Amino acid sequence: MRRRPTRAIVPKPGSDLLLFEGFDCVGALRALGEDTRVRIMGLLLEAPLGVCEIARRIGTTHYNVSKHLRVLREAGLLDVEKHGRERLYGVPERIRRGRGARLKVLDLGCCSFRFDSDLKN
């Protein structure tokens, strides 16, 4: 059986899918297409965290978390801050909305994701 080649959808400059300079909404949505990455983003909307803490909270390996963080970072969904030997990952202010204790929203411009604080990881 022959596989059909997949094509990447690249937004044209000036289109609504290119929301911030260097930010691709399609790439961000692809990065959020995996459940573990959505869980990681929900954690990082609360506070910046390191790989070890993220792995502990979601119950997976450091290696797995590192791979997911790389995909999220390359999609422009994470900021990385170096503290000594540790790197803290957080959500950039440009896509963060709702700083209240109950409302956490990731606003990509083309769509928004609401994370409820009372949901279990």
Task: Please report whether residue 106 resides in a domain.
Answer: yes
Tokens 């969904």 sit on residue: 77
Q: What is the Cα 35 distance to its own chain's centre? A: 11
Could you give the number of structural domains in the chain?
Answer: 1
CATH of the domain at 90: 1.10.10.10
Task: Please report whether residue 16 resides in a domain.
Answer: no
Task: Please report whether residue 65 resides in a domain.
Answer: yes
Task: Please report whether residue 68 resides in a domain.
Answer: yes
Cβ burial, residue 31 (10 Å; 0-12/13-18/19+): buried
Task: Please report whether residue 109 resides in a domain.
Answer: yes
Structural domain containing residue 44: 25-116
For residue range 51-83, list pLDDT tens digits in order.
Answer: 999 999 999 999 999 999 999 999 989 999 998
For residue range 79-105, list pLDDT tens digits in order.
Answer: 999 988 899 999 988 887 755 545 688
Task: Please report whether residue 2 resides in a domain.
Answer: no
Which residue(s) pair with 86 in the sheet?
83
For residue 49, what pLDDT band results from cuts at 50, 70 and 90?
very high
3-state secondary structure at position 83: strand
The pLDDT score that the predictor gives to residue 2 is: 43
This prediction has a pTM of 0.73
Task: Please report whether residue 10 resides in a domain.
Answer: no
Lowest pLDDT segment from 29-43, 57-71, 78-92, 107-121: 107-121
Task: Please report whether residue 34 resides in a domain.
Answer: yes
